[in-house]
Copies of this chain bind each other. A is one copy, B any other.
Amino acid sequence: MIIDLTHPLSETIPVYPSKTRFSRKKHDLKNGVCLNDISLSSGIGTHMDAPRHFYAEGNSIDQIPLERFFGPACVLHLSEKVKDNANYSISVEDLHVWEKTHGSIPPKCLFFADTGWDRLWGKNSYCIPSESGGCPYPGFSAEAAKLLVQRKVNIVGIDTLGLDPGCNLEAPAHQILLKEEIPLIECLANLDKIPPKGAMVFALPMNIQGAPEAPVRVVAFIGKKFEDV
A residues adjacent to B (C-beta < 8 A): 2, 4, 6-10, 18-20, 24, 27, 29, 31-43, 45-46, 52-54, 56, 62, 66-67, 69-70, 169, 171, 202, 204-213, 215, 217, 219, 223-229
Nearest Cβ in chain B — how far from A180, in angstroms? 18
By a CB distance below 8 angstroms, the chain B residues around A53 are 33-35
Q: How far is the CB of A211 from chain B (nearest CB, A)?
A: 5
Residue among B29, B36, B211, B227 making CB contact with A38, cutoff 8 Å: B211
> Are A208 and B9 closer than 8 Å at their CB atoms?
yes
B39→A38 contact, CB < 8 A: yes
Contact A208 B52, beta carbon cutoff 8 Å: no
Q: A27-B20, A227-B224 are in contact. Are A40 and B38 (CB under 8 A)?
A: yes
Known: A37-B39, A37-B41, A70-B202. 18 other contacts (CB 8 A): A4-B207, A10-B210, A18-B29, A19-B35, A20-B27, A20-B37, A27-B41, A34-B212, A35-B42, A36-B43, A38-B40, A38-B41, A46-B207, A202-B202, A202-B204, A207-B215, A224-B228, A225-B226
Distance in angstroms between the alpha carbons of A27 and B19 in the assembled complex: 9
CB atoms of A39 and B39 under 8 A apart:
yes
How many whole Å from A137's CB to the nearest CB in chain B?
17
Q: Give Cα A19–Cα B226 distance, bound, in whole angstroms.
A: 38
Answer whether A229 and B225 are a contact pair too, CB < 8 Å, given A34-B52, A34-B54: yes
